[in-house]
Structure 1
Amino acid sequence: MLPTREHFKWLYSFLHKRSPFDVRRYADDLARSRGWTKETILFMIQVFRELGFITVENGIVSLARDVQKRDLTESPSYRLKQAQAELEHMFLYSSYTQLKRWFDSLYEEEKVNGFKTIRHDCS
């Protein structure tokens, strides 16, 4: 699952109220209470850390001081998860013809350039 902006807002607000927060000790409880997975909590914490919103030391999450507003897409982990979600969506909901066209384009690109990039469009 790719958490929504609302999920991130909720977690940041939670951390603001509970900082410092022992993620190793309480991540399971927090995930269960929200209906999320522990992996989702850890992913969002990783995104916050990459954006400089928090610091994590020995599993203790603390809010960073003087935080500047940044978009979630500035996080490498967020962009990777977003790309994975788009790829999963494509594989689940594309027709056979669309998938074949996509794989054919990858094959042709590999013949010309070597396998360097994967395109996510399936049109």
Structure 2
Amino acid sequence: MARIGIALFLAALLIFVAGCTGSSPPPAPQIRAYTPQTTILIGSTSVNPQVLTVEKGVTVTWLNIDMGLHTVASDEGDPDSFVSYPLSTNDEFQWTFTLPGTYGYHCTDNPNIKGTIIVSS
């Protein structure tokens, strides 16, 4: 009789433990994914890549990986002008290029940070 009681106790314990450990784990933290072919990383002194070639209609993303504020502004005279708000660390700015051409851009606070987008048709 004692063995049956111990067996029932162990079975109940196993069911209890299984119920406690069966809960799903917390969701994984969201990591910002970026596509290297259409993303430009803004650093403290430069952008990477400095020259990016995309097809017409593609959206380019600039991602500030620096601790300082940066902006993205098209050079004067570009047919498809754009300017971002000040980007903090991990902020991003996106622009869809609708016209073929070559587009220079720079940071308004640090004009040495500059690059070029080449848009093909």
- TM-score (normalised: structure 1): 0.25
- TM-score (normalised: structure 2): 0.25
In proportion to residue count, which structure has more helix? Answer: 1
Q: Whose RCO is larger (CA < 8 A, sep 6+)?
A: 2
